[in-house]
Amino acid sequence: MFKTLRSPRQQHLQNLLIELRKSRGLTQTDVATRLGRPQSFVAKYEGGERRLDVVEFLDVAQALGADPRAVLADLIVRTTASPK
């Protein structure tokens, strides 16, 4: 296993966080304000230029008004191959 910003799981996480933000009617600036970070921070993790560590992920989930366990469960479903 190797770390990459372009792995399928990383891309699924990016897409999931973007979908959550948009479904709540939030802009990147809104999320950044809630996090006390610049808008570029949100743009970079959504655009795949940086990864979130676990603590940052928890903060982002909270800023999105999402349960981090539910976000991870969704990510697992999206990235786990179903049995054939």
- Within a domain: residue 32? yes
- Within a domain: residue 84? no
Find where tokens 């940086």 sit.
Answer: 50
CATH code for position 53: 1.10.260.40
C-beta of residue 75 within 8 angstroms of C-beta of residue 13 = yes
DSSP 83: P
| Count of the separate structural domains present in the chain | 1
Residues 45-52, mean pLDDT to the nearest whole number: 96
pLDDT band, residue 6 (cuts 50/70/90)? confident
- Within a domain: residue 3? no
Which tens digits make up the pLDDT trace of 51-80?
A: 999 999 999 999 999 999 999 999 999 998
Which tens digits make up the pLDDT trace of 18-38?
A: 999 999 999 999 999 999 999
Domain that holds residue 58: 8-78
d(Cα 22, Cα 66) in Å, to the nearest integer?
A: 12
- Within a domain: residue 2? no
C-beta of residue 7 within 8 angstroms of C-beta of residue 75 = no
- Within a domain: residue 83? no
Prediction pTM value: 0.88
